[in-house]
Amino acid sequence: MARVLTLATRGSKLALAQSEWVGREIERHHPDTRVELVTIRTQGDKVQDVALSKVGGKGLFVKEIEEALLDGSADLAVHSLKDLPTAMPDGLCIGAVGGAVDPRDVLISRDGRGLNDLPEGAVIGTSSLRRQAQLAHTRPDLTFEPIRGNVDTRLRKLDEGQADAIILAGAGLMRLGLTGRITEWLPIEACVPAVGQGLLAIEIRQGDDETESLLRFLGDETAAHRALAERAALACLEGGCQTPIGIHATPARYTIAVEGVVAGPSGQPYYRARETSPASDPTEAGRRLADRLRAMGAGELVG
């Protein structure tokens, strides 16, 4: 008989698209395995009218899903890695990191203008303090308004005139086939992405060797090294959604470079650094970046 795996996922179009892709890949590589999706509504899905920084941050999108893994009602879960806190609950682990796509943020404007061409005082819709702080550092004349909801909801709010432009992760638009809406890909020099942006993480129970073995083909070593470096830096900074932090790692054959930004919500103060370490130790690269940012003064912002 075919083995049946239960995959827990949020119910948004993006979460379903990501989970369905993982499910199809598992079934394609393991014809004797069937994947069934179970949709779980998280607290982050229920609270749509308050900025994430005010209601608890990243854990809001995973707590109920992780409870399903722990109680055995689900065997695995697919997350956008950027939504997964660096501190994992006892009994759970990341079984594979992969699905890498472009990690950059994108700007979508109503009139087709890019960031540098937006008029003074233009309203940018974003609930991300990371995006707000970095864009405010470059364009302090812009106005920022919180905007929540899934990708479709945010695009609708833009089209209704609630903002002149919105900022989203390009990865989500790529996975939904909506890249035609993108006005401009923001260079990492202008907006350092969130930790893990553009990567998928598959979460499983610790000790579930059979499921981990089934997922091994989905693992991407380059993506995993990127994740280790970025998550190590964030963990060392002890940062969450309350502090604007952007971190991005670039693995190469022999080295891994990690750059990061820590800033105030207004774009000031603004601390930016870059570290390079041997590719064999991405975690150390992240720690070195965090130490350097703290030494520059970022520690006063993250505590």
Q: 83 an active-site residue?
A: yes
| CA within 13 Å, CB half, 288 | 16
Across the beta sheet with 245-251, the strand order is 245-251, 255-263, 270-278
Handedness of CA 292, 298, 302, 303 (dihedral sign): positive
Q: Give the whole-angstrom CA distance, residue 176 versus residue 171.
A: 9
According to DSSP, residue 253 is labeled S
Read off the amino acid at residue 34: R
Burial class of 121 by CB neighbour count within 10 A (0 to 12, 13 to 18, 19+): exposed
Which is the catalytic residue, given 75, 83, 105, 164?
83
Q: Phi/psi at 237 (nearest 5 deg)?
A: -80, -15
Structure tokens at 63: 């707590």
Catalytic residues: 83
